[in-house]
Structure 1
Amino acid sequence: MSDAPATPAPAPLMPLPRALAYIGASTVIALTQGLAQGFISTNIPQIAGDLGATTTQASWLMAAYLIPRATMPLLLIKLRTQYGLRRFAEIAIVIYLAVALMSFSIFDLRSAITGQFFAGMASAPLSTLAFLYMLEPLPPAWKLRLGLPLSLSVIAVGSHLARVISPALMGDAGWQGLHVMGLGMAAVSLGLVYALPLQSPPKIKVIAPLDLVSWVLISVGFGGLIVGFVMGPIHWWTEVPWLGWLMALSIACLTLAVAIELNRAAPLVDIRWLVSPAMLHLTITLLLFRLILSEQSAGAPRMFQQLGVTQGQLVPLFAVISAATILGGLALVPFMKPGRVARFHVVALVMIAAGAWMDSNSTLDTRPAQMMASQALIAFAGSLFMAPAMMRGLMAAMARGPNYILSFVIVFLSTQSIGGAAGSGLFSSFINHRQALHLQVLREDLATTDPLLMQDIASRAATLIRQFPDTALARAQAMAAIAQDASAQAYVMAYNDAYFLTFLVAAGALFALLLHLFRDWLAARWPLTSPHVPEPLK
């Protein structure tokens, strides 16, 4: 008789109704997290009014939410491994529900910032739970092919759906309406987590004391970078000294964390693997792509805000963006294979470049309806790019062992969280810089004695003479209106410059990728062989 171990029988497939229930739970949990973040970023001016604060002060709410979102997953992955997945899921969702209840006690800016910090901390596990619930009912062959693109698309669509939902909620009940919505989603998620438990793998003791030291240092470093990128464009980078000190502290903490991890036998993060050529290429790709996608979050909505378009008028645009995000994930399912990652990225970069080029021709008369096609292209490309990139990283990590999955997850989350904040901050800084230059040029033109300008002033003054009988006052009002139009025109020109820069970056990345593929094609067609060495005579 053979001594070979018997092949384990494959796990039975989950019944279809229960599998759909797990997929639905994944969707609800992902939207719970995505809507919570989107509600804050979308409604900063309105929330500032409710709190009696300025928009600049209320921007700290976004920073307070993002800091734990970027840093908590590093520790949560090990907590999940050591204490069990099921307990992790149940405790995480209970804490999130408690934080949602706490939000009703917010009454000023200080309590709001504290509440948002705890909300970001409590929501950090939800993306992981949504991902795990999507994969749980699927057979192994479909986990990466179907579960990965669907889960990433649903996680990404939450912030877009927040712009669709929040105008109605804010119009009816103000910020309290957002709290009620968040509490309701958290309560539904709690019921789903307890009704549909996840299978928990064996518990392994993986947390070491130095893990906590490294995590604190990485958290301070990531947190400082996020605060810098959020507040830098608002206060301007060189105007307040504390921004420079904060960025220096962040770099020092990250440097110290790297030094500790490089000298550990079982590091929290495998730095040597992360700086390997393959992982550096993947990290730069993810970061570059996240910067490019900032055009959608920090571009069109803020441009329309400058043009006087209300949040309610943006609802159809973001409904289209949300649909395109989901369709992008579904489009991957029939073709998702490891060997096709580069092809997906080529198509995605083409679509982003095309969408950014279309947006770069905006005018003062551009409205959301004119940008639906371009923004849908960019949203579709976002889903088309992210899932294949994550699949490549996960497969590379799993090929080296379970310990490397944590290192890859840290790379993925840091490029998404910090990359999103950095992209928004750099995009806004570029806009402010270009707007100031364009406005200076336009003001120089307004200061001249151009006959067409004088004719425009006279025409506007004639229409205002009924409101202002004083001719000089009517003329002054006409000149103020022209100056206001010039400021709006300068903003549109600055956004066009940013859209065109996005097009150039996407086109440059596309050219580099095609060049890389061409090199690989040449290497496969004409492989390098060593010169023929004749055998020695016998």
Structure 2
Amino acid sequence: MDRYAPHSWLPHEKPSLPGSPSTPLHSTPKRLAFAAVGLLVAITGGLGNALVTANLQFLQGALGATQAEMAWLPAAYVMTNISMNLVLVKFRQQFGLRAFTEVFLVLYALVTFAHLFVNDLNSAIAVRAAHGMTGAALSSLGLYYMIQAFPAKWRLKALVLGLGASQLALPLARVFSEDLLQIAEWRGLYLFELGLALTALGCVFMLKLPPGDRFRTFEPLDFLTFAILATGFALLCAVLSLGRIDWWLEAPWIGWASAACIILILTGLAIEHNRSNPMLMTRWLGSGVAIRLALAVILIRMVASEQSTGAVGFLQALNMSQEQMRSLYCVMLVGAIAGLAVSAWTIRPEHLFMPLIVSLALMATGSYMDSFSNNLTRPWNMYLSQFLLAFGSTFFVGPTMALGTRNVVTNPRNLISFSVLFGICNNLGGLIGSALLGTYQIVREKFHSSIIVEQLTLLDPRVLARVQSSAAGYASVVADTSSRTNLGYRALSTAATREANVLAYNDVFMFIGVVAVLTMLWIFIRSLWLLTTTTTQAPSAPSPSEPASGASSS
């Protein structure tokens, strides 16, 4: 019997897309088990990068590296993670879901185990790159398990929960990772992650996904395209991750990498465009549907980066420690869970634009509230704003994915293209957001610092009094008058830098709010245009398929 021959499925069992599992009927206890395993796998995959991102400062001391060198750790993960859907989708289609599940979970556990033997920065970067490749498989695996937990009529709810569960990893890591560091320093993080990976591996072996159809999909030219595109996107991620640290116009490698990534990506797309059986449907990727979807995902991810780059960076600039910010991280986690739950509860296939508008409105409100911060702002002053931002950051994920899958269901050949597009836009949106907001914050800090310093003159009695009062504070420990005066000047300079940073972060928060409002208006106008055109065309439609095709053009 040909293992690639399609099965004879019952109507309710037929896989919705090539490479996805069949959907037989399950008992309620088994559905709950699928949901628990799906949640475990999704969070395990997300925590791989989240634990490192949340604790870069602690790892920097353990590895004896500079800030620029440490930035390569999360960058290496994204560099290999971003393009893996190019081959993962075809791997599932050709070798089956069970092989996909077992192979990549075993590799994930082995790579996590390898983290325990990291002793220097080079080995840490190599292991993080390997982790990015294996971790890419876990997000789709968690989604497939979550789909098994829901009946067909609630498939969209499964999509929301399966995709959104991995978004909980970063706030979750920030809540408890400091306790892991106290147990075994930085190895405590990886011991915990290894335990999660082994637990997920055992659960997956005990509760296997139903089989799906298998097809011969790989072609020799696929690997050439993957190598070219993966290298191009990896260079782009490196530029976006380290551009604001090494600075865009000062490090020569940034220019060479930027030029090389453009050439490689265009070369890979040109090869795919001229293939008779391409991996990527370049004509669909160049359509208005795909471009609008990509732009929407990137813009929303940019806005969502306010929490990691904006609020957390702002409080760290005020010398807030991880322990002082733990309550804020708990609020972020609760907001993310609430957004995920409400999205799954309220999602409707006929109203997929509304969650995007609502999430952007909430994030714009939260950013506007944060833009009035000052040097007395503390984590509890940002509870409401960060709850709104966390809520919005998970509220939009499922509806955005559902909008894109409309075109995949009508034309399954677009599956790889859509998976790659969605994954790349999610990763690039976060990187572009961090790069843009971080650069904007540095530029605005220099601007405000220059204005503040211009006004600091000893001819001003208030400035002189501030220097003298600061110097007097050292009288009990420093006997020399000139040394105390120098310390007073230094204290004044530190205060000026702090105020410049506060004003710069306020500008960042306001900028994020403006981007959120403009994106919201664009999506709202687009939804109104689709609504009016669909309504005017419906009465004269010769067949019932036209409204569906009009809706799918969103």
TM-score w.r.t. the length of structure 2 is 0.91
User: CA-to-partner distance for each residue in 1:126-177, whole Å, 9 max, x for gaps?
Assistant: 1111111111232221111x10111122110011111111111112321110
Of 127, 146, 150, the match for 1:134: 146
Structure 1 residues 9, 295: closer, same or farther in 2, change over 3 A?
Answer: closer
Partner residue in 1 for 2:543: none
Per the alignment, in what secondary structure is the counterpart of residue 455 of structure 2? helix
User: CA-to-partner distance for each residue in 1:435-491, whole Å, 9 max, x for gaps?
Assistant: 111111111112352221112222222332222232222222112111101111111
Matched, 1:27 2:39: yes
Partner residue in 1 for 2:215: 204
Partner residue in 2 for 1:536: none
Of 449, 473, 476, the match for 2:459: 449
User: CA-to-partner distance for each residue in 1:308-345, whole Å, 9 max, x for gaps?
Assistant: 11112221111111111121121123321122112112
Per the alignment, in what secondary structure is the counterpart of residue 266 of structure 1? coil
Matched, 1:167 2:178: yes
Distance 1:377 1:138 in 2: 28
Distance 2:10 2:117 in 1: 54
Structure 1 residues 520, 135: closer, same or farther in 2, change over 3 A?
Answer: closer
Of 340, 352, 355, the match for 2:351: 340
User: CA-to-partner distance for each residue in 1:266-288, whole Å, 9 max, x for gaps?
Assistant: 11110101111122111111111
Of 336, 342, 352, the match for 1:325: 336
Structure 1 residues 111, 529: closer, same or farther in 2, change over 3 A?
Answer: closer
Kindly provide the amino acid, as one letter, of the partner of residue 92 in structure 1. Answer: F
Of 85, 97, 118, the match for 1:85: 97
Distance 1:22 1:424 in 2: 35
8 Å Cα contact 1:163/1:314 also seen in 2: no
8 Å Cα contact 1:349/1:381 also seen in 2: yes
Structure 1 residues 430, 216: closer, same or farther in 2, change over 3 A?
Answer: same
Q: Specify every segment of 5 or more residues in structure 1 that has no aligned partner in the other structure, as ranges.
A: 1-5, 531-538
Kindly provide the amino acid, as one letter, of the partner of residue 156 in structure 1. Answer: Q
8 Å Cα contact 1:31/1:155 also seen in 2: yes
Partner residue in 2 for 1:482: 492
Matched, 1:364 2:391: no
Per the alignment, in what secondary structure is the counterpart of residue 372 of structure 2? coil
8 Å Cα contact 2:149/2:158 also seen in 1: no
Distance 2:119 2:538 in 1: 70
Partner residue in 2 for 1:57: 69
8 Å Cα contact 2:302/2:432 also seen in 1: yes
Partner residue in 1 for 2:246: 235
Of 265, 290, 295, the match for 2:306: 295
Distance 2:242 2:123 in 1: 19
Distance 1:9 1:387 in 2: 25
8 Å Cα contact 2:98/2:209 also seen in 1: yes
Partner residue in 1 for 2:3: none
Of 434, 458, 466, the match for 1:424: 434
Matches within 5 A, 1:459-474: 459-474=469-484
Of 114, 118, 128, the match for 2:126: 114
Partner residue in 1 for 2:190: 179
Kindly provide the amino acid, as one letter, of the partner of residue 366 in structure 1. Answer: T
Per the alignment, in what secondary structure is the counterpart of residue 340 of structure 1? coil
Structure 1 residues 521, 127: closer, same or farther in 2, change over 3 A?
Answer: closer
Matched, 1:312 2:323: yes
Matched, 1:39 2:69: no
Which shows bigger deviation, 440-449 or 424-433? 440-449
Structure 1 residues 521, 403: closer, same or farther in 2, change over 3 A?
Answer: closer
Matched, 1:15 2:27: yes
Partner residue in 2 for 1:435: 445
8 Å Cα contact 1:92/1:122 also seen in 2: yes
Distance 1:239 1:27 in 2: 44
Structure 1 residues 480, 201: closer, same or farther in 2, change over 3 A?
Answer: same
* C-alpha displacement of 1:9: 5.8
Partner residue in 1 for 2:5: none
TM-score w.r.t. the length of structure 1 is 0.94
Aligned residues: 523
Partner residue in 2 for 1:251: 262
Distance 1:33 1:514 in 2: 34
Structure 1 residues 8, 18: closer, same or farther in 2, change over 3 A?
Answer: closer
User: CA-to-partner distance for each residue in 1:247-296, whole Å, 9 max, x for gaps?
Assistant: 11000000001111111111111010111112211111111111111111
Distance 1:87 1:528 in 2: 46
Matched, 1:190 2:201: yes
Which shows bigger deviation, 225-234 or 168-177? 168-177
Distance 1:170 1:182 in 2: 13
Kindly provide the amino acid, as one letter, of the partner of residue 464 in structure 1. Answer: Y
User: CA-to-partner distance for each residue in 1:156-211, whole Å, 9 max, x for gaps?
Assistant: 00111111111111123211101101110111011011001011212211011111
User: CA-to-partner distance for each residue in 1:323-370, whole Å, 9 max, x for gaps?
Assistant: 111211211233211221121122111101100000111111111111
8 Å Cα contact 2:458/2:464 also seen in 1: no
Of 396, 399, 408, the match for 1:385: 396
Kindly provide the amino acid, as one letter, of the partner of residue 285 in structure 2. Answer: L
Which shows bigger deviation, 56-65 or 516-525? 516-525
Distance 1:36 1:333 in 2: 25
User: CA-to-partner distance for each residue in 1:465-520, whole Å, 9 max, x for gaps?
Assistant: 22223222222211211110111111111111111001111111222233334444
Kindly provide the amino acid, as one letter, of the partner of residue 391 in structure 1. Answer: A
Q: Specify every segment of 5 or more residues in structure 2 that has no aligned partner in the other structure, as ranges.
A: 1-7, 14-23, 541-554
Structure 1 residues 507, 70: closer, same or farther in 2, change over 3 A?
Answer: same
8 Å Cα contact 1:150/1:326 also seen in 2: no
Matched, 1:266 2:277: yes
8 Å Cα contact 1:33/1:123 also seen in 2: yes
